[in-house]
Amino acid sequence: MTESSVSMPDVCSPHEFRSLMSEFPSGVAIVTTLDDDGRPWGMTCSALCSLTTAPPTLLVCLRAESPTLDAILRRGTFAVNLLHGGSQSVAELFSSRMSVPERFTSVDWSTGPSGPHLTGHAHAIADCRVARTADGGSHVILFGRVGCVTQHRGPGPLLYGRRRYRNWPE
């Protein structure tokens, strides 16, 4: 790599960065797991992408101080629940400051191989095992090896962009 002669700031402001990323709509997921006592944990996540199909691996980025992340790292597994278009209230619930275990009393869920499945709110669910982690500053990057996938028929994906939720057009 060669050094550029163009002058550029080292880092943009957090406000500028959030504004940039709001212009990149993404699907909305709830990442879930169970702790050592069998209690459910989960949080809304839009920082998710596929890495490779061989082996099938997802990248999921969670806040470093998240109790859900702590439970995932202890257990070593997590589920990625891709929300459908009728689940905006669930996305908002799991991104709220409400106590995490209380969130699960407000939604229907079942225990999946790697964590809670929000079957009434997800159009697809991936059960993952933590393959490795990486430091992402304020976030931790999880490399999730996908063990199995469950798909449900119904509304299309819930999207988030420009600080608003939208349904995938039919």
pLDDT tens digit string along 112-159?
Answer: 999 999 989 999 999 999 999 999 999 999 999 999 999 988 788 999
pLDDT at 167 over 60: yes
- Taking CA atoms, 37 is separated from 34, 44, 71, 90, in Å, by 8, 22, 10, 24
Cα separation, 128 vs 118, in Å, equals 15
- Say yes or no to pLDDT of 1 above 60: no
What 3-state DSSP class applies to 76?
A: coil
What are 3's two structure tokens?
């050094």
Measure the CA–CA gap between 57 and 147, rounded to whole angstroms: 9
Question: In angstroms, rounded to a whole number, what is the distance separating the alpha carbons of residues 57 and 128?
Answer: 8
Measuring CA to CA, which residue among 45, 47, 46, 48 is closest to residue 31?
Answer: 45
- Indicate the SS3 state at residue 11: coil
Q: Over pLDDT 70: what percentage of the chain?
A: 95
Q: Is the peptide bond before 113 cis (omega within 30 degrees of 0)?
A: no
| pTM (whole model) above 0.85 | yes
pLDDT at residue 4 in the model: 59
pLDDT at position 100: 65
| Separation between Cα atoms, residue 89 and residue 28, nearest integer Å | 12
Distance CA 105, CA 103 (A): 5
The pLDDT score that the predictor gives to residue 22 is 74
pLDDT band at 3 (very low <50, low <70, confident <90, very high): low
Look at the domain 28-155 and name its fold.
Answer: Pnp Oxidase; Chain A (2.30.110)
- Give the type of residue at 48: L
